Amino acid sequence: MRQFFDDMHGTDGEVRAAYAEIATWLAQTPPHALNAKREEAERLFRRIGITFAVYTEGGDTERLIPFDIIPRVLDADEWAFLERGLKQRVTALNLFLADVYGAREIVRAGKLTNEHIDTHPAYCAQMQGVTPPGGVYTHISGIDLVRTGANEFYVLEDNCRTPSGVSYMLENRSVMMRLFPELFARISVEPVARYPQDLLRTLRSVAPSSGEDPCVVVLTPGQFNSAYYEHSFLADEMGVELVEGIDLVVRDKKVFMRTTGGLKRVHVIYRRIDDDFLDPMVFRPDSTLGAFGLMEAYRAGNVALANAPGAGIADDKAIYMHVPEMIRFYLGEEPILNNVPTWDCANEGALAYVLDHLEELVVKETRGSGGYGMLVGPHATKTMRDDFAKKLRLNPAGYVAQPTLALSTCPTFVADGAAPRHVDLRPFVLSGADGIRIVPGGLTRVALTDGSLVVNSSQGGGTKDTWVLHTRQNGGK
Amino acid sequence: MLARAAESLFWLARYMERMDNLARLIEAAQSMAGVLSETEEWRSALAAAGVDELYDTVYDTVSPDSAARFLCTGPDNSSAIIACLDLARINARAMRGALTRDMWEAVNQGWLESRHLTERAFSAETLPDTLDWVRTISTRFSGAYETTMLRNENYWFIRLGTFLERADNTARILDVKYHLLLPQESSGVGGMLDYYQWTSVLRAVSAVRAYQWVYREEVKPWNVAELLMLRPEMPRSLRACYDAITECLEKIAAIHGGRRGECHRIAGAQASQLRYGRIGDIFQSGLHEHLTEQIERAAELGDQIAAHYMR
């Protein structure tokens, strides 16, 4: 049996200081009372309408992401460490993007090749030579972290193309506060509710100067998109319009929205549609989700897009390996947060190693997301591994491999009471022309199946509220 | 505000109001069971809902059970109560951010509950409870928007949808029922049967008590028509609806610096006609003709509002 670090019990079974109050609460609350709270939570989520569409399921396309009522806790020191690391990493990612679409110093320094960049599927040629306002490319970044020990955190992946999940971070907190006010009275938890205001400030900071009060909008593909709830939630919380492509029109390289009073100028678009759909004039001609001429307006500096087109090149799984090097190169600092060791299957030696060690590795598509198309070696059957090996040999450059990390667990309320389940953490990092903002916490995702390491909601994962303690808790260890 | 948002809110309110009117219509038809020809009563309900021809393509005969089911759940009836609720939620969801949480919960909660309704919910004995439930949803919705919405453009478009739909429904109910009742008028005004019939019109617009308070005499056809058309204190009368419609349109015009269009002209003309009209004159020139024109004008007004604000 492999030993996992448990967020609450560490490795020796003793309750860690940050969880002292939670442990008491769990010990004093009978299971049926917890179960009643769990049911109440589910009713609340349904009533608010926080649902998530899952593409592969037929019938009811609106499904609830399971919510676990036991919070995941980080103490103030742990968070301070993560925050420093996240700021450093996202600063480097933005500098990397500015370099990729600008001078290409990193190529001159021999760390990457031009070919590497130019042939990359997420590279956006339209962006070459364009400097977005404030030099910011990835305004909203979701950095997926995992924990393997008391002081061991790893970055699993970076998400620089419209990462989602922040609405769950916010709604999870508001549901927890409603269900367990007494816990919040006893434990001093850093609030997360300022996120929408931070986001709006960040977006306004990159508005082109036009003399007008900048108009910010959220661009959604529409109500049948899986993350539609989040789009409308964020627009509402920020107090800005939620627009669809049909609401936008470009005139004289300026973007407008159709309103009841005629056309109104738009300065910043927080777009929740992919690059390919932004502008049928330069990208997919069949797209109706974006606006014709949007890129021309963007290149003319008349509108800001968050995140910038082409920002995805920074979060690719093959580029990921180079992030520690980027941090040294652009910032002259040692990386604070570790990368997971990664084998790039495009490399022949690495491919041979990966094929030999499939049963202990996780193999991911470099372009995949949402947990689709990946192999978790230790949990796969021999047939699955053999089939995967065939795919791998056919297109080695399409895959990277990582060791299966001993992801930490956190007590989770399941059918037979509280039991350890594996978790990860996605904090949301906001980068504006005026600096970086991070709300303490993030989205904790939990693999609800015993032993499972896949936390993605599309694969049956759930979420937890994430508590960052305001001050260090005394006592314990 | 986004043109598309105005359209979604306007239709959200219309579907919620339509659903409420359908419930009243069905209640009125059901309460008349045993008093006069059930077939006629239900046929008039189908006609007032504008689905009588559609009904005939699905069923051979009119029975209370099949008519009530058709008005509640279809099949193939896109104006049935449940279909209205679905459409209301689609519009609400499209403009989720423009709704207050209370409004959204009123729509969403109703929609969630509707998914658990069984066949039995529409059988004769449980139908009254189901219709009560329908009216609770729309009442919760209008209560939610009246008490929680900012008085901004969103609010005026919601209200505009509510009152335009209500005007249309009142005109339809009066027209259909009046048509049905007309032949009996010669058999003596004031008879028991006649009394029940006119009461059924009042019941369909929840105005039985209101009638007594306003007229303090037995139910008479011209009084009923006057109450539903010209009386400003009757909340479902055409006059009250058009007063509200012109108010909404004026508020919206003021937000846009006084810019007005054809929709303002139509609404204003309708409102003043109702304000200065007399029921005697309307009967003289033909109530049916007058109501038909009202229904057509309401449709035209809807088109012109869309042309002016929603494109």
Domain locations along chain A:
17-192+312-336+422-468, 209-302, 341-403
The chain A residues in contact with chain B (CB within 8 A) are 46-49, 222-223, 228-229, 232-233, 235-236, 241-244, 246-247, 257-261
Residue type, A380: A
**Do B168 and B209 share a domain, yes or no?**
yes
CB distance B1–A260 less than 8 Å?
A: yes
**Do B173 and B247 share a domain, yes or no?**
yes
**Do B164 and B308 share a domain, yes or no?**
yes
Contacts of A59 in chain B (CB under 8 A): none
The residue of chain B nearest to residue A259, with distances taken between CA atoms, is B2
Choose the final residue of a domain: B130, B149, B168.
B149
The enclosing H or E element of B294 equals: helix B287-309
Is the sign of the CA dihedral B83, B84, B85, B87 positive or negative?
Answer: positive
How much is the pLDDT for A188?
Answer: 94
**Do B250 and B174 share a domain, yes or no?**
yes
Q: How far apart are CA B16 and CA B144, in angstroms?
A: 12
CB distance A259–B96 less than 8 Å?
A: no
Contacts of A215 in chain B (CB under 8 A): none
CB distance B311–A258 less than 8 Å?
A: yes
Q: How many CB atoms lie within 10 A of CB B90?
A: 16
Q: How far apart are CA B166 and CA B174, in angstroms?
A: 12
Query: CA geometry: angle at A257 spanning A255 and A258, to 5°?
Result: 140
Residues of chain A with pLDDT under 70: 1-2, 49-63, 367-372, 458, 472-477
Beta strand residue intervals within A110-247, DSSP E:
140-149, 152-159, 216-219, 241-243
Q: How far apart are CA A17 and CA A23, in angstroms?
A: 10
Residue A189 C-alpha, separation from nearest chain B C-alpha, in angstroms = 26
**Do B161 and B305 share a domain, yes or no?**
yes
Which residues make Cβ contacts (< 8 Å) with residue A32, sequence separation at least 6? none
**Do B173 and B277 share a domain, yes or no?**
yes
Counting residues of chain B whose pLDDT is more than 90, the rounded percentage is 65
Size of interface A-B (CB pairs under 8 A): 63
Q: Does B75 touch chain A if contact means CB atoms closer than 8 Å?
A: no
Q: Does B147 touch chain A if contact means CB atoms closer than 8 Å?
A: no
**Do B233 and B267 share a domain, yes or no?**
yes
CATH tag, A209-302 = 3.40.50.11290
Residue A42 C-alpha, separation from nearest chain B C-alpha, in angstroms = 13
Lowest-confidence pick of A227-236, A338-347, B189-198, B290-299: B189-198
CB distance B4–A261 less than 8 Å?
A: no
Residue B261 C-alpha, separation from nearest chain A C-alpha, in angstroms = 12
Contacts of B161 in chain A (CB under 8 A): none
CB distance A261–B259 less than 8 Å?
A: yes
**Do B176 and B42 share a domain, yes or no?**
no
Q: How far apart are CA B52 and CA B3, in angstroms?
A: 34
How much is the pLDDT for B204?
Answer: 82
**Do B131 and B214 share a domain, yes or no?**
no
Q: Which of B1, B4, B87, B90 to mutate to test the interface with A (most CBs of A within 10 A)?
A: B4
- B261, B73, B237, B251: which is closest to B166 by C-alpha? B237
Radius of gyration (C-alpha) of chain B in whole angstroms: 19
Q: Is the pLDDT of residue B187 over 50?
A: no
**Do B115 and B241 share a domain, yes or no?**
no
Contacts of A47 in chain B (CB under 8 A): 105, 108-109, 112
How much is the pLDDT for A63?
Answer: 67
Q: Does B92 touch chain A if contact means CB atoms closer than 8 Å?
A: no
Give the nearest partner residue to A259 out of B3, B97, B112, using CB atoms. Answer: B3
Q: Does B4 touch chain A if contact means CB atoms closer than 8 Å?
A: yes
The residue of chain A nearest to residue B254, with distances taken between CA atoms, is A261
Domain A341-403 class, CATH top level: alpha beta
Q: How many domains does chain B have?
A: 2
Give the nearest partner residue to A260 out of B3, B96, B104, using CB atoms. Answer: B3
Contacts of A244 in chain B (CB under 8 A): 4
The residue of chain A nearest to residue B154, with distances taken between CA atoms, is A260
Query: CA geometry: angle at B49 spanning B47 and B50, to 5°?
Result: 60
| Contact by Cβ (8 Å): A32, A83 | no
Give the nearest partner residue to A243 out of B2, B104, B259, using CB atoms. Answer: B2
| Contact by Cβ (8 Å): B9, B91 | yes
Give the nearest partner residue to B256 out of A48, A229, A261, using CB atoms. Answer: A261
CB distance B112–A47 less than 8 Å?
A: yes
Choose the final residue of a domain: B149, B174, B192.
B149
* Backbone dihedral angles phi then psi of residue B232, each to the nearest 5 degrees: -70, -25
How much is the pLDDT for B31?
Answer: 77
**Do B161 and B127 share a domain, yes or no?**
no
Choose the final residue of a domain: B113, B130, B149.
B149
**Do B100 and B132 share a domain, yes or no?**
yes
The enclosing H or E element of A25 equals: helix A20-28
- A429, A464, A462, A432: which is closest to A86 by C-alpha? A429
The residue of chain A nearest to residue B100, with distances taken between CA atoms, is A236
Q: How far apart are CA A158 and CA A204, in angstroms?
A: 24
How much is the pLDDT for A477?
Answer: 37
Which residues make Cβ contacts (< 8 Å) with residue A24, sequence separation at least 6? none
Residue B214 C-alpha, separation from nearest chain A C-alpha, in angstroms = 40
pLDDT tens, residue by residue, B170-186? 998 888 777 666 544 44
Domain extent at residue B220: 156-311
DSSP 3-state of A71: strand
How much is the pLDDT for B183?
Answer: 47
Q: How far apart are CA A341 and CA A360, in angstroms?
A: 13
CB distance B255–A233 less than 8 Å?
A: no
Q: How many CB atoms lie within 10 A of CB B304?
A: 17
Contacts of B3 in chain A (CB under 8 A): 247, 258-260
What DSSP character marks residue A66?
P
Q: Does B105 touch chain A if contact means CB atoms closer than 8 Å?
A: yes
pTM of the model: 0.82
Residue A260 C-alpha, separation from nearest chain B C-alpha, in angstroms = 5
Q: Does B3 touch chain A if contact means CB atoms closer than 8 Å?
A: yes
- A182, A174, A167, A265: which is closest to A216 by C-alpha? A265
How much is the pLDDT for A2?
Answer: 58
Contacts of B257 in chain A (CB under 8 A): 261
Rounded to 5, what percent of chain A is helix, strand, coil?
Answer: 35, 25, 40
CB distance A258–B2 less than 8 Å?
A: yes
Helices (H), A129-180: 166-179
Q: Which of B86, B93, B148 to mutate to test the interface with A (most CBs of A within 10 A)?
A: B93
